[in-house]
Amino acid sequence: GFQDRGGGKGGGKERRRNAQNAQVAKKSGEETDYYWRSRQKFISAGGRQPKTEESLRRAERELFSQHTGVVGINFDQYESIPVECSGPGTEQSKALGSFQQLGGSLPPFLARAVELMKYANPTPIQRNAIPHALLGKDLMCCAQTGSGKTCAFLLPVTASLGGRCCAECGLWAVGRADPADDQFYCDRCWDQLEGVEVGPTAAYAVVMAPTRELALQIHLEARKLTHGSDIHPVVVYGGAPARGQLDELALGGQVLVATPGRLIDFVDRGVVTLARTRFLVLDEADRMLDMGFEPQIRQIVQKRDMPPKAQRQTLMFSATFPGPIQKLAGEFMNQYVWIAVGRVGSSVESIQQVIVQAPNDKRQKLALAAQAMQQVEGRTLVFVQKKATADWVCRQLQREYGVRADSIHGDRNQSQREGVLAAFKGGKITVMVATDVAARGLDIPEVRHVVNFDLPTSPDEFDSYVHRIGRTGRAGHTGKATALYVQGMDPKTGNGRIAKQLLQMLQAASPPA
């Protein structure tokens, strides 16, 4: 019979699309097969072999050599930080005075890790969140980046997951007790003793984060806290090849740190199961919603095999709590404890804010920005709205002003972004130009100056101004924030629509003494 071969333009486009889809499906199938081969090999070899003393010590040196706890915090300010705590059982529970207090209740490997991480006094979020989380309560925490929140959720999760030693292999691990004699077995030994088939990676704790950078940072902290146990934390995120991540998943992934898109991809490929998830953590929940991740988050939590909220513990962290976040918290959690921590030297008190009126011409704006930068020594973070602007500002700063600068944004691949971050932390560059993807969750200690080259244009986005300037004046230090303000109500060019909010921020700020 006659067959339409798609001779027109549309037909060619469709053929190309079909060929592309077939290619993607083929690659995905090959990667999934690769995972199952790796998984089978790992399980057949008896899983992770106990490490020798020497290899444990070597791993310890590598992991903890850089660690100094929370950098440069002004601990005297802690006592005066307002903490709001409400919800079931909050009247009876006591805040955590010191990490030593936890001593006996932590498995030995975790007590050792806390010691190696040189945590001094618990930060306000740790003091209030850890005791509730250890009691198994759901938490909704309002806390800024830089407040020690990663440890506030990872420590209780690790303590609960790795709390017992396997009777068969002797490792501190995730597992279950035999009802007959209360002997505890890690899952792998249990499956082997029961003759269970090799299954997908079971994520017992799922930590979702908005960006690759934040996910990597949480994963590093998880590796430190689980060191010396059989728990193998894995991080998965988009924008990087799947194969290396599948390799890691084949070896464990009991603590799985993930961006929502890549997680749903792996769950749908059948390489990760959420059926045994005991902990769900949403970090920077407001940011994930801003970035449009709500549909994926809802799919993962409500439409796959994750246990319902009554059968898991859910911890949510967010810098702000607008309506959509409150709604999500209500749906995902059981009678939760609410904890809100004012920042160390509140958002504005430790930041000197300066508004500079600027023309709507990027060269003239850059001259004003460069002038402002010369007045402050130390690391400077420059925020722009668009990726192209980030690259342009960066080039001009290098060429015209001799500034050592680099940029970080969504179009730069993972290793480039990590390279720029390392250079900024290590002092090889003094200025980092960033879009909002870098505004949250990045572990950059002591930024002296934040420059808003482009301000947010609509009142709905004003939160991002607060988050941006929150990169300075942290941990008891003082900082400066310079904003280039362009007059006019046209959102494409002017900042007039946020003038009222900017003014309120300035009035709320009392300059640092």
Report d(CA 294, CA 343) in Å as an integer.
27
pTM > 0.85: no
Q: Is the pLDDT of residue 474 over 80?
A: no
Q: Is the pLDDT of residue 444 over 80?
A: no
Question: Residue 442 corresponds to which tokens in the numbers above?
Answer: 């990045």
Tell me which of 125-134, 158-167, 380-389 is least confident. 158-167
DSSP string computed for 156-212: HHHHHHT-EE-TTT--EESEEE-TTT--EEEHHHHHHHHTPPP-PEE-SEEEE-SSH
Residue 355, H or E segment: strand 351-357
Identify the band that residue 475 occupies on the pLDDT scale cut at 50, 70 and 90.
low
Q: Is the pLDDT of residue 32 over 90?
A: yes
Q: Is the pLDDT of residue 101 over 90?
A: no
**In this structure, which CATH number among 2.60.40.1180, 3.40.50.2000, 3.40.50.300, 2.170.140.10 belongs to the domain 74-341?**
3.40.50.300
Mean of pLDDT values over 12-34: 89
Tell me which of 197-206, 251-260, 409-418 is least confident. 409-418
Identify the band that residue 80 occupies on the pLDDT scale cut at 50, 70 and 90.
low
Identify the band that residue 256 occupies on the pLDDT scale cut at 50, 70 and 90.
very high
- Give pLDDT, residue 146: 65
How many percent of the chain have pLDDT more than 90?
37
Q: Is the pLDDT of residue 235 over 70?
A: yes
Question: Residue 107 corresponds to which tokens in the numbers above?
Answer: 């498995």
DSSP string computed for 398-431: HHHH---EEEE-TTS-HHHHHHHHHHHHHTS-SE
Domain ranges of the chain: 74-341, 351-508
Name which CATH class applies to 351-508.
alpha beta
Q: Is the pLDDT of residue 512 over 60?
A: no
Q: Is the pLDDT of residue 440 over 70?
A: no
- Give pLDDT, residue 1: 47
